[in-house]
Structure 1
Amino acid sequence: MIKPYLMFNRECEEAFNWYQKAFDGEMILMQRYGEMPANPNFPIPESDKNLVLHAQLKLTDSGIIMGSDGNRDFPNSEKVVVSVELDTEERAKNAWNVLSDGGTILMDLQPTFFAKLHGSVKDKYGVSWMFTVE
Protein backbone atom coordinates (compact mmCIF):
# COMPACT_ATOMS: atom_id res chain seq x y z
CA MET A 1 0.00 0.00 0.00
CA ILE A 2 1.27 3.47 -0.85
CA LYS A 3 0.31 6.54 1.21
CA PRO A 4 1.56 10.15 1.10
CA TYR A 5 3.50 11.06 4.26
CA LEU A 6 3.54 14.75 5.13
CA MET A 7 6.37 16.23 7.21
CA PHE A 8 5.79 19.26 9.46
CA ASN A 9 7.74 21.47 11.83
CA ARG A 10 5.60 21.60 15.00
CA GLU A 11 2.31 22.03 13.12
CA CYS A 12 1.20 18.51 12.20
CA GLU A 13 -1.74 18.40 14.61
CA GLU A 14 -3.01 21.79 13.44
CA ALA A 15 -2.68 20.80 9.77
CA PHE A 16 -4.32 17.39 10.23
CA ASN A 17 -7.25 18.92 12.12
CA TRP A 18 -7.65 21.36 9.22
CA TYR A 19 -7.50 18.53 6.63
CA GLN A 20 -10.00 16.54 8.72
CA LYS A 21 -12.41 19.49 8.59
CA ALA A 22 -11.85 20.05 4.85
CA PHE A 23 -12.59 16.42 3.91
CA ASP A 24 -14.92 15.52 6.81
CA GLY A 25 -12.26 12.88 7.41
CA GLU A 26 -11.73 10.34 10.14
CA MET A 27 -8.67 10.68 12.40
CA ILE A 28 -7.41 7.11 12.65
CA LEU A 29 -4.35 7.71 14.80
CA MET A 30 -2.38 10.51 16.42
CA GLN A 31 0.64 9.31 18.42
CA ARG A 32 2.87 11.69 20.38
CA TYR A 33 6.64 11.65 20.84
CA GLY A 34 6.00 11.33 24.57
CA GLU A 35 4.38 7.91 23.94
CA MET A 36 7.60 6.43 22.50
CA PRO A 37 9.54 3.94 24.62
CA ALA A 38 12.52 5.66 26.25
CA ASN A 39 15.67 5.48 24.14
CA PRO A 40 18.98 7.01 25.32
CA ASN A 41 20.06 7.40 21.66
CA PHE A 42 16.96 9.49 20.93
CA PRO A 43 16.12 11.58 24.01
CA ILE A 44 12.90 13.60 23.73
CA PRO A 45 12.96 17.10 25.28
CA GLU A 46 9.98 17.84 27.51
CA SER A 47 8.93 20.63 25.10
CA ASP A 48 8.61 18.09 22.24
CA LYS A 49 6.69 15.31 24.00
CA ASN A 50 3.30 16.56 22.78
CA LEU A 51 4.43 16.84 19.14
CA VAL A 52 3.02 14.34 16.64
CA LEU A 53 5.18 11.26 16.13
CA HIS A 54 2.74 9.66 13.67
CA ALA A 55 -0.75 10.57 12.45
CA GLN A 56 -3.14 8.87 10.05
CA LEU A 57 -6.18 10.59 8.58
CA LYS A 58 -8.74 8.88 6.36
CA LEU A 59 -9.84 11.40 3.72
CA THR A 60 -11.97 9.14 1.51
CA ASP A 61 -13.06 5.49 1.50
CA SER A 62 -9.68 4.42 0.14
CA GLY A 63 -7.50 7.50 0.68
CA ILE A 64 -5.30 7.96 3.74
CA ILE A 65 -2.60 10.53 4.44
CA MET A 66 -0.02 10.18 7.18
CA GLY A 67 2.25 12.71 8.82
CA SER A 68 4.49 13.76 11.69
CA ASP A 69 6.41 16.63 13.23
CA GLY A 70 10.15 16.71 12.62
CA ASN A 71 12.75 18.68 14.50
CA ARG A 72 13.57 20.99 11.62
CA ASP A 73 12.01 23.00 8.82
CA PHE A 74 11.75 20.72 5.80
CA PRO A 75 12.47 22.09 2.32
CA ASN A 76 9.41 21.85 0.07
CA SER A 77 10.95 18.87 -1.70
CA GLU A 78 11.04 16.94 1.59
CA LYS A 79 7.59 17.81 2.94
CA VAL A 80 6.00 14.87 1.13
CA VAL A 81 7.48 11.38 1.37
CA VAL A 82 6.20 8.30 -0.46
CA SER A 83 5.40 5.80 2.28
CA VAL A 84 5.37 2.18 1.10
CA GLU A 85 4.04 -0.58 3.33
CA LEU A 86 5.39 -3.92 2.12
CA ASP A 87 4.32 -7.41 3.11
CA THR A 88 7.76 -9.04 3.45
CA GLU A 89 11.19 -8.03 4.68
CA GLU A 90 12.68 -9.40 1.46
CA ARG A 91 10.62 -7.03 -0.72
CA ALA A 92 11.51 -4.08 1.51
CA LYS A 93 15.23 -4.89 1.47
CA ASN A 94 15.22 -5.30 -2.31
CA ALA A 95 13.51 -1.95 -2.91
CA TRP A 96 15.76 -0.34 -0.28
CA ASN A 97 18.93 -1.64 -1.93
CA VAL A 98 17.87 -0.41 -5.37
CA LEU A 99 16.71 3.05 -4.24
CA SER A 100 19.61 3.68 -1.86
CA ASP A 101 22.16 2.98 -4.64
CA GLY A 102 23.28 6.49 -5.55
CA GLY A 103 20.88 7.97 -3.00
CA THR A 104 21.08 9.20 0.58
CA ILE A 105 19.98 7.15 3.58
CA LEU A 106 17.83 9.30 5.85
CA MET A 107 17.07 6.57 8.42
CA ASP A 108 18.57 3.09 8.34
CA LEU A 109 16.19 0.25 7.45
CA GLN A 110 15.94 -1.48 10.82
CA PRO A 111 13.56 -3.06 13.33
CA THR A 112 11.62 -0.51 15.41
CA PHE A 113 9.15 -0.61 18.29
CA PHE A 114 6.28 -0.27 15.78
CA ALA A 115 7.43 -2.39 12.81
CA LYS A 116 9.55 -5.38 11.79
CA LEU A 117 11.49 -2.96 9.54
CA HIS A 118 11.29 0.78 8.97
CA GLY A 119 13.57 3.29 7.26
CA SER A 120 13.76 6.12 4.76
CA VAL A 121 15.95 7.03 1.83
CA LYS A 122 16.18 9.81 -0.75
CA ASP A 123 16.84 8.27 -4.16
CA LYS A 124 19.29 9.59 -6.76
CA TYR A 125 16.44 11.59 -8.33
CA GLY A 126 15.67 13.45 -5.08
CA VAL A 127 12.48 11.52 -4.23
CA SER A 128 12.14 10.57 -0.55
CA TRP A 129 10.81 7.08 0.27
CA MET A 130 9.78 5.55 3.59
CA PHE A 131 9.56 1.76 3.95
CA THR A 132 7.60 -0.15 6.59
CA VAL A 133 7.11 -3.89 7.10
CA GLU A 134 4.58 -4.51 9.87
Structure 2
Amino acid sequence: MAKMNPYLNFNGKTEEAFNFYKSVFGGEFSAVHRMTEAPEASQLPENERNGIMHIALPIDGHTTLMASDILPSCGHVLNEGNNVQISLHPESREETERLFNGLSAGGNVEMPLEDTFWGAYFGSFKDKFGIQWMVNFEQGQK
Protein backbone atom coordinates (compact mmCIF):
# COMPACT_ATOMS: atom_id res chain seq x y z
CA MET A 1 0.00 0.00 0.00
CA ALA A 2 1.30 3.43 -0.89
CA LYS A 3 0.04 5.71 1.92
CA MET A 4 -2.23 6.05 4.92
CA ASN A 5 -3.22 9.56 6.00
CA PRO A 6 -5.38 11.17 8.69
CA TYR A 7 -8.51 12.85 7.32
CA LEU A 8 -10.33 15.43 9.44
CA ASN A 9 -13.86 16.82 9.16
CA PHE A 10 -14.97 20.27 10.29
CA ASN A 11 -18.24 22.16 10.37
CA GLY A 12 -17.27 25.19 8.27
CA LYS A 13 -13.86 25.68 9.94
CA THR A 14 -11.59 23.64 7.67
CA GLU A 15 -9.91 26.65 6.08
CA GLU A 16 -9.31 28.32 9.45
CA ALA A 17 -7.97 25.09 10.98
CA PHE A 18 -5.67 24.36 8.05
CA ASN A 19 -4.24 27.87 7.98
CA PHE A 20 -3.42 27.30 11.65
CA TYR A 21 -1.87 23.85 10.96
CA LYS A 22 0.14 25.36 8.09
CA SER A 23 1.49 28.03 10.47
CA VAL A 24 2.71 25.27 12.79
CA PHE A 25 3.94 22.61 10.32
CA GLY A 26 5.01 24.96 7.52
CA GLY A 27 4.91 24.01 3.86
CA GLU A 28 2.25 24.67 1.24
CA PHE A 29 -1.12 23.12 0.54
CA SER A 30 -0.89 20.48 -2.19
CA ALA A 31 -4.64 20.69 -2.86
CA VAL A 32 -7.47 23.08 -2.05
CA HIS A 33 -10.88 22.33 -3.58
CA ARG A 34 -14.09 24.10 -2.67
CA MET A 35 -17.62 22.75 -2.72
CA THR A 36 -18.28 24.99 -5.75
CA GLU A 37 -16.19 22.54 -7.83
CA ALA A 38 -18.62 19.66 -7.26
CA PRO A 39 -21.00 18.84 -10.15
CA GLU A 40 -24.17 19.74 -8.20
CA ALA A 41 -22.77 22.64 -6.17
CA SER A 42 -25.57 24.95 -7.27
CA GLN A 43 -27.99 22.81 -5.24
CA LEU A 44 -26.12 23.54 -2.00
CA PRO A 45 -27.28 26.35 0.28
CA GLU A 46 -25.31 29.55 -0.30
CA ASN A 47 -23.59 29.27 3.12
CA GLU A 48 -22.09 25.85 2.19
CA ARG A 49 -20.90 26.56 -1.36
CA ASN A 50 -17.57 28.14 -0.43
CA GLY A 51 -16.73 25.39 2.08
CA ILE A 52 -13.73 23.15 1.62
CA MET A 53 -14.45 19.92 -0.26
CA HIS A 54 -10.84 18.74 0.12
CA ILE A 55 -7.60 20.24 1.39
CA ALA A 56 -4.20 18.61 1.82
CA LEU A 57 -1.12 19.74 3.73
CA PRO A 58 1.98 17.56 3.29
CA ILE A 59 3.66 17.10 6.67
CA ASP A 60 6.64 15.08 5.47
CA GLY A 61 7.48 12.67 2.65
CA HIS A 62 5.08 10.05 4.02
CA THR A 63 2.19 11.86 5.69
CA THR A 64 -0.35 14.36 4.44
CA LEU A 65 -2.95 15.93 6.72
CA MET A 66 -6.25 16.19 4.83
CA ALA A 67 -9.73 17.51 5.59
CA SER A 68 -13.11 18.73 4.42
CA ASP A 69 -16.14 20.60 5.72
CA ILE A 70 -19.31 18.64 6.40
CA LEU A 71 -22.54 19.52 4.59
CA PRO A 72 -25.45 19.87 7.04
CA SER A 73 -27.82 20.25 4.06
CA CYS A 74 -26.91 16.69 3.03
CA GLY A 75 -27.61 15.34 6.50
CA HIS A 76 -24.02 15.38 7.73
CA VAL A 77 -23.68 15.86 11.47
CA LEU A 78 -20.34 16.46 13.12
CA ASN A 79 -19.93 14.58 16.39
CA GLU A 80 -16.78 13.84 18.31
CA GLY A 81 -15.59 10.55 16.91
CA ASN A 82 -16.70 11.12 13.31
CA ASN A 83 -14.42 14.05 12.65
CA VAL A 84 -11.38 11.85 11.98
CA GLN A 85 -11.08 9.22 9.25
CA ILE A 86 -8.25 7.06 7.99
CA SER A 87 -7.62 7.62 4.30
CA LEU A 88 -5.98 4.73 2.45
CA HIS A 89 -4.29 5.28 -0.92
CA PRO A 90 -3.68 1.84 -2.47
CA GLU A 91 -1.41 1.27 -5.45
CA SER A 92 -3.90 -0.66 -7.62
CA ARG A 93 -7.61 -1.04 -8.26
CA GLU A 94 -7.39 -4.66 -7.06
CA GLU A 95 -5.75 -3.64 -3.78
CA THR A 96 -8.44 -0.96 -3.38
CA GLU A 97 -11.18 -3.59 -3.66
CA ARG A 98 -9.39 -6.01 -1.32
CA LEU A 99 -8.91 -3.38 1.39
CA PHE A 100 -12.40 -1.91 1.00
CA ASN A 101 -14.16 -5.28 1.06
CA GLY A 102 -12.06 -6.64 3.91
CA LEU A 103 -12.25 -3.63 6.21
CA SER A 104 -15.93 -2.88 5.54
CA ALA A 105 -17.09 -6.46 6.25
CA GLY A 106 -19.65 -6.28 9.04
CA GLY A 107 -19.58 -2.48 8.96
CA ASN A 108 -21.67 0.22 7.30
CA VAL A 109 -20.78 1.37 3.77
CA GLU A 110 -21.35 5.10 3.34
CA MET A 111 -20.26 5.29 -0.32
CA PRO A 112 -19.65 2.10 -2.33
CA LEU A 113 -16.51 1.93 -4.45
CA GLU A 114 -17.08 3.86 -7.66
CA ASP A 115 -15.28 5.97 -10.22
CA THR A 116 -15.56 9.62 -9.17
CA PHE A 117 -15.64 13.00 -10.87
CA TRP A 118 -12.19 13.78 -9.43
CA GLY A 119 -10.67 10.82 -11.28
CA ALA A 120 -10.33 8.33 -8.44
CA TYR A 121 -11.84 4.95 -7.60
CA PHE A 122 -13.24 5.81 -4.17
CA GLY A 123 -15.41 4.46 -1.37
CA SER A 124 -16.00 5.14 2.32
CA PHE A 125 -17.37 3.20 5.27
CA LYS A 126 -17.44 2.74 9.03
CA ASP A 127 -15.98 -0.59 10.06
CA LYS A 128 -17.59 -2.94 12.58
CA PHE A 129 -15.60 -1.25 15.36
CA GLY A 130 -16.86 2.26 14.52
CA ILE A 131 -13.70 3.48 12.76
CA GLN A 132 -14.30 5.56 9.63
CA TRP A 133 -12.26 4.78 6.51
CA MET A 134 -11.87 6.17 2.99
CA VAL A 135 -10.17 4.22 0.20
CA ASN A 136 -8.98 6.36 -2.72
CA PHE A 137 -7.12 4.91 -5.73
CA GLU A 138 -5.90 7.55 -8.19
CA GLN A 139 -6.85 6.07 -11.58
CA GLY A 140 -3.69 7.15 -13.38
CA GLN A 141 -1.42 5.07 -11.16
CA LYS A 142 -1.91 1.57 -12.66
TM-score where L is the length of structure 2: 0.84
Does the 8 Å contact 1:25/1:60 carry over to 2? no
Distance 1:39 1:16, change over 3 A: closer
CA distance in 2, matches of 1:108, 1:65: 23
Partner of 1:133: 137
Partner of 1:86: 90
Worse-matched range after superposition: 71-80 or 104-113: 71-80
- Which amino acid counterpart does residue 16 of structure 2 have in structure 1? E
1:10 paired residue among 6, 9, 12:
12
Residue segments in structure 1 that go unaligned for 5+ positions in a row: none
Partner of 2:60: 60
Partner of 2:30: 28
Residue segments in structure 2 that go unaligned for 5+ positions in a row: none
Q: CA deviation at 1:58?
A: 1.7
Pairing 1:36-75 to 2, within 5 Å after superposition: 36-38=38-40, 43-71=43-71, 72-75=76-79
Q: How many residues align?
A: 132
CA distance in 2, matches of 1:115, 1:128: 22
The Cα offsets for residues 20-64 of structure 1, whole Å up to 9 and x where unpaired, read as 011123211110000122379xx3222211000000012234331
CA distance in 2, matches of 1:86, 1:112: 16
CA distance in 1, matches of 2:8, 2:89: 15
CA distance in 1, matches of 2:115, 2:47: 27
The Cα offsets for residues 48-102 of structure 1, whole Å up to 9 and x where unpaired, read as 1100000001223433100000124422211110000112111111111112211
Does the 8 Å contact 1:105/1:121 carry over to 2? yes
Divergent runs of 4+, >6 A: none
